[in-house]
């Protein structure tokens, strides 16, 4: 594990040295990824292992502690580091300088991420956390000549610093409670103390910002859209999981967490998932659409954690197990299918040179392998059987159904019940959104000449998608074999519950059903393909109109328009529609745009108001040395007076 992280960190250095040495970068990264994955596998099977190096920072220790939880979260980091290295080979054929820049920071990012997930010391955790934030900022700002990219980078940096501020407070309070800088279990009943509850709520803010939970998600869509695609995949696949990891780690330190905190997590998760997918439906930019889906999936994960915490507080072990297992499995699943989607979307964007969904179309004929990869990711993220997204969502649904059948004193946990309709709505909307994305980008006929001339992605990019597709299929078809991995991780997150056997018993029938479904559907499809081999080719039927053009196709925006109405209260779409009153209207233009409500309607106005307020402070700043000396003198005198009091 350590070797893997170290190899990732240094992998970018040869790229800085020169173009010939740059070839070593992917080799080092893939080697690091393999070493790290082996380390994670060992960490999941064996007990906690500790590795230390001397580090001369007061309170800090270069301490790496790999337990099941760390290994579980670190595994996708290494997988994506390796796949990203392969993908980036041909993705970035611009100037040498810039390619070296991306490679250097990509290696640093993935290496530091692995350290965040395995840090055994809070100061070391903070240091690695900041390295990740810095490296992410530079990667997001890769195309810094575009104003949009710069603003996305600055918003990310600002949000990241707010999170770090809260994190500093958490670390200080934890030290105050445990008298050690290591991640140590808090004394019994800590959650009831004011300091303990402060830790919990600060953790919700700090890790909520990092994870992109709904009210704190403002940085996420812009940053994911601006970064190069393999960086978006890592940002969405694992960097935001840093927040989930932190939340789970802090929760695991408490012996009991109050039910109100669980309920808050649950409601925040539900809000985040429903609104995240609603915003995603309204996007015109393929990468922004995927970014909003990250918010949705983080919402699903946090919902699962909320179920776990709530059920533990009420003393329902089966429900807690379902919540934690669903949440943690969804962490892996989201890493797999979201990075797959970013990789394949990036390949499409790379060959059409636009991110606008409605300027693509018909790419399945031109890039069949990329289309198949995107379709796999789409089915998985929509939570459909027989792929992996279904398994984790099934566990959460099962929790909702279990809560209504259980006859615990005080009746079923009503909040957990809410999960079922919320997930149903989220799932149906996600399905619609990915039919829109897949249909408008890959199906139909090309909408522009750029889409018409698209070429299949280079082989190295396709190769990077292979492990991800296999991962999606493996978890979907063989979920029961996953239980030995999931069991220790759940145990690490919530030491109170004993999972392993129950998960296997639950998942086995799902596994059989998925296999049967896949087998029969494949057989039926093959028979149909065979029967259609002698088919006559003709033009699409357009009500007897013989020459349909690609501009007559239904667009992705039109497909989503029906949904926009339901969520107009939250999304506030800006519509510029022409008014056609005459019989022969002249040429007109129709435009819709959905700004991010939290950013454009709440946060930015608040910031502007704050700026106006702070303008008063500018009065002090005159730019004259004498005045500053006077301030210094006055402060000294004031301090002296205060200490002599």
Partner 1 sequence: MTAGLHILLVLLAAPLLPGVITKTKARVAGRSGPPLLQPYYDMAKLLRKGTVLSSTTTWVFLLAPAVAVVVPVLASLFLPLAGTRSPIAFSGDAILFVYLFALSRFCTTAAALDTGSAFEGMGAARELTFAALAEPALFFGLLALARISRSLSLSSLLAVGGAGWRHASAALVLIVASWFIVLLAENSRVPFDDPNTHLELTMIHEVMVLDHSGPAFGLILYGSALKLFVFSTLIAAVLLPRTGIPLTDAAATLGAVLLLGVVIGLVESGMARLRLVRVPQLLVTASLIAGFAVVLVLR
Q: Which of residues 421-450 bind partner 1 (CB under 8 A)?
A: 421, 424-425, 427-429, 431-432, 434-435, 438-440, 443-445
Rounded distance, CA 74 to CA 475, Å? 17
Q: Does 521 bind partner 1 (CB under 8 A)?
A: yes
Rounded distance, CA 608 to CA 382, Å? 38
Of the ranges 147-155, 260-268, 341-349, 523-531, which one interacts with partner 1 (CB under 8 A)?
Answer: 523-531
Three-state SS at 584:
coil
Q: Does 408 bind partner 1 (CB under 8 A)?
A: no
Rounded distance, CA 154 to CA 163, Å? 14
| Encoded tokens for 167 | 């994190």
Distance of closest approach, residue 313 Cβ to partner 1, in angstroms: 20
| C-beta closer to partner 1: residue 3 or 418 | 418
Rounded distance, CA 411 to CA 301, Å? 25
| C-beta closer to partner 1: residue 197 or 550 | 550
- Residue 178: how many other CB atoms lie within 10 Å: 17
| C-beta closer to partner 1: residue 201 or 545 | 545
Q: Residue 123: which residues within 8 A CB-CB, separation 6 or more?
A: 57, 59, 60, 61, 171, 181
**Nearest residue to 387 (alpha-carbon basis) of 497, 515, 286, 475:** 475
| C-beta closer to partner 1: residue 169 or 443 | 443
By CB under 8 A, the residues from 326 to 365 that bind partner 1 are 361-362, 364-365
Rounded distance, CA 443 to CA 363, Å? 6
| C-beta closer to partner 1: residue 178 or 445 | 445
Of the ranges 167-175, 325-333, 525-533, 590-598, which one interacts with partner 1 (CB under 8 A)?
Answer: 525-533
Rounded distance, CA 568 to CA 442, Å? 28
Distance of closest approach, residue 344 Cβ to partner 1, in angstroms: 15
Rounded distance, CA 460 to CA 320, Å? 42
Distance of closest approach, residue 421 Cβ to partner 1, in angstroms: 4
| Encoded tokens for 545 | 């109109």
Distance of closest approach, residue 444 Cβ to partner 1, in angstroms: 3
Q: Does 397 bind partner 1 (CB under 8 A)?
A: yes
By CB under 8 A, the residues from 546 to 565 that bind partner 1 are 548, 550, 552-555, 558-563
Residue corresponding to tokens 């934030």 = 133
| C-beta closer to partner 1: residue 424 or 637 | 424
Q: Does 581 bind partner 1 (CB under 8 A)?
A: no
Of the ranges 23-31, 125-133, 236-244, 419-427, which one interacts with partner 1 (CB under 8 A)?
Answer: 419-427
Rounded distance, CA 496 to CA 293, Å? 32
**Partners of 591 in the beta sheet?**
576
| C-beta closer to partner 1: residue 405 or 643 | 405
Would you say 557 and 358 are in contact if contact means Cβ atoms under 8 Å apart?
A: yes
Among 3, 417, 478, 598, binds partner 1 (CB under 8 A): 417
Of the ranges 192-200, 229-237, 308-316, 405-413, which one interacts with partner 1 (CB under 8 A)?
Answer: 405-413
Of the ranges 159-167, 197-205, 215-223, 376-384, which one interacts with partner 1 (CB under 8 A)?
Answer: 376-384
| C-beta closer to partner 1: residue 13 or 435 | 435
| C-beta closer to partner 1: residue 34 or 435 | 435
Rounded distance, CA 104 to CA 305, Å? 35
Distance of closest approach, residue 358 Cβ to partner 1, in angstroms: 12
Where b means 16+ CB within 10 Å and e means fewer, 326-360 reads bbbbbbbbbbbbbbbbbbbbbbbbbbbeebbbbbb
Among 527, 574, 632, 637, binds partner 1 (CB under 8 A): 527
| C-beta closer to partner 1: residue 13 or 418 | 418
Q: Does 370 bind partner 1 (CB under 8 A)?
A: no
Q: Does 153 bind partner 1 (CB under 8 A)?
A: no
Site string for partner 1, 377-396 (x = CB under 8 A): -xx--xxxx----x---x--
Distance of closest approach, residue 364 Cβ to partner 1, in angstroms: 5
Would you say 196 and 190 are in contact if contact means Cβ atoms under 8 Å apart?
A: yes
Could you give the C-alpha distances from 545 to 444, 446, 589, in angstroms and in order? 17, 19, 25
- Residue 478: how many other CB atoms lie within 10 Å: 15
Rounded distance, CA 199 to CA 250, Å? 8
Of the ranges 46-54, 139-147, 373-381, 462-470, which one interacts with partner 1 (CB under 8 A)?
Answer: 373-381
Q: Residue 363: which residues within 8 A CB-CB, separation 6 or more?
A: 348, 351, 352, 370, 371, 441, 442, 446, 451, 454
Distance of closest approach, residue 427 Cβ to partner 1, in angstroms: 7
Rounded distance, CA 527 to CA 343, Å? 32
Of the ranges 76-84, 98-106, 185-193, 541-549, which one interacts with partner 1 (CB under 8 A)?
Answer: 541-549
| C-beta closer to partner 1: residue 133 or 322 | 322
By CB under 8 A, the residues from 455 to 474 that bind partner 1 are none
Three-state SS at 119:
strand
| C-beta closer to partner 1: residue 354 or 550 | 550
| C-beta closer to partner 1: residue 30 or 457 | 457
| Encoded tokens for 399 | 């929790």
Of the ranges 173-181, 205-213, 368-376, 489-497, which one interacts with partner 1 (CB under 8 A)?
Answer: 368-376
User: How many chain residues bind partner 1 (CB under 8 A)?
Assistant: 82
Distance of closest approach, residue 314 Cβ to partner 1, in angstroms: 16
Residue corresponding to tokens 């018993």 = 505
Rounded distance, CA 618 to CA 578, Å? 46
Would you say 21 and 45 are in contact if contact means Cβ atoms under 8 Å apart?
A: no
Rounded distance, CA 220 to CA 279, Å? 13
Q: Does 412 bind partner 1 (CB under 8 A)?
A: yes
Residue 445 gets which letter from DSSP?
A: S
């Amino acid at each position: 594990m350590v070797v893997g992280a170290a190899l990732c960190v240094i992998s970018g250095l040869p790229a800085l040295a020169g173009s010939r040495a740059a070839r070593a970068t992917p080799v080092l990264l893939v080697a690091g990824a393999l070493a790290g994955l082996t380390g994670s596998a060992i960490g999941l099977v064996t007990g906690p292992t500790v590795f230390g190096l001397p580090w001369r920072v007061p309170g800090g220790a270069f301490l790496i502690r790999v337990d099941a939880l760390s290994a579980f979260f670190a595994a996708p980091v290494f997988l994506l580091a390796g796949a990203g290295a392969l993908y980036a080979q041909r993705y970035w054929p611009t100037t040498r300088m810039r390619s070296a820049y991306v490679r250097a920071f990509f290696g640093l990012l993935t290496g530091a991420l692995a350290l965040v997930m395995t840090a055994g010391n809070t100061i070391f955790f903070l240091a690695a956390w900041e390295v990740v934030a810095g490296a992410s900022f530079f990667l997001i700002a890769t195309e810094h000549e575009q104003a949009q990219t710069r603003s996305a980078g600055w918003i990310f940096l600002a949000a990241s610093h707010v999170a770090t501020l809260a994190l500093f407070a958490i670390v200080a309070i934890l030290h105050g409670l445990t008298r050690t800088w290591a991640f140590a279990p808090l004394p019994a009943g800590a959650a009831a103390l004011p300091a303990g509850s402060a830790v919990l709520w600060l953790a919700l803010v700090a890790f909520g910002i990092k994870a992109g939970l709904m009210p704190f998600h403002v940085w996420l869509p812009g940053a994911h859209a601006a970064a190069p695609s393999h960086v978006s995949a890592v940002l969405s696949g694992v960097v935001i999981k840093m927040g989930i990891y932190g939340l789970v780690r802090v929760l695991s330190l408490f012996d009991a967490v109050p039910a109100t905190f669980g309920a808050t997590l649950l409601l925040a998760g539900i809000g985040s998932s429903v609104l995240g997918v609603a915003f995603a439906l309204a996007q015109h930019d393929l990468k922004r659409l995927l970014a909003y889906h990250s918010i949705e999936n983080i919402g699903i994960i946090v919902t699962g954690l909320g179920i776990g915490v709530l059920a533990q507080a009420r003393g329902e072990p089966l429900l807690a197990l379902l919540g934690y297992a669903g949440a943690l499995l969804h962490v892996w699943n989201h890493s797999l299918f979201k990075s797959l989607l970013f990789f394949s979307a990036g390949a499409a964007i790379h060959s059409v040179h636009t991110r606008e969904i409605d300027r693509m179309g018909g790419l399945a004929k031109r890039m069949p392998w990329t289309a198949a990869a995107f379709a796999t990711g789409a089915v998985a993220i929509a939570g459909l059987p027989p792929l992996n997204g279904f398994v984790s969502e099934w566990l959460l649904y099962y929790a909702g159904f279990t809560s209504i059948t259980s006859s615990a004193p005080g009746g079923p946990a009503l909040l957990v019940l809410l999960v079922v309709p919320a997930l149903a709505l989220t799932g149906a909307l996600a399905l619609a959104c990915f039919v829109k994305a897949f249909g408008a980008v890959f199906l139909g006929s090309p909408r522009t000449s750029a889409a018409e001339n698209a070429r299949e992605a280079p082989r190295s990019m396709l190769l990077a998608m292979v492990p991800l597709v296999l991962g999606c299929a493996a978890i979907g078809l063989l979920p029961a074999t996953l239980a030995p991995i999931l069991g220790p991780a759940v145990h690490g997150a919530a030491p109170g519950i004993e999972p392993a056997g129950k998960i296997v018993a639950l998942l086995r029938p799902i596994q059989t059903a998925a296999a049967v479904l896949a087998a029969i559907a494949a057989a039926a499809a093959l028979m149909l393909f065979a029967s259609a081999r002698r088919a006559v080719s003709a033009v699409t039927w357009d009500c007897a109109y013989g020459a349909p053009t690609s501009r007559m196709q239904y667009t992705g925006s039109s497909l989503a328009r029906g949904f926009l109405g339901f969520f107009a209260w939250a999304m506030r779409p800006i519509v510029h529609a022409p008014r056609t009153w005459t019989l022969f209207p002249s040429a007109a233009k129709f435009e819709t745009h959905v700004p991010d409500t939290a950013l454009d309607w709440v946060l930015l106005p608040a910031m502007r108001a704050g700026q106006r307020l702070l303008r008063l402070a500018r009065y002090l700043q005159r730019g004259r040395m004498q005045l500053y000396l006077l301030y210094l003198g006055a402060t000294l005198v004031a301090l002296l007076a205060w200490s002599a009091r």
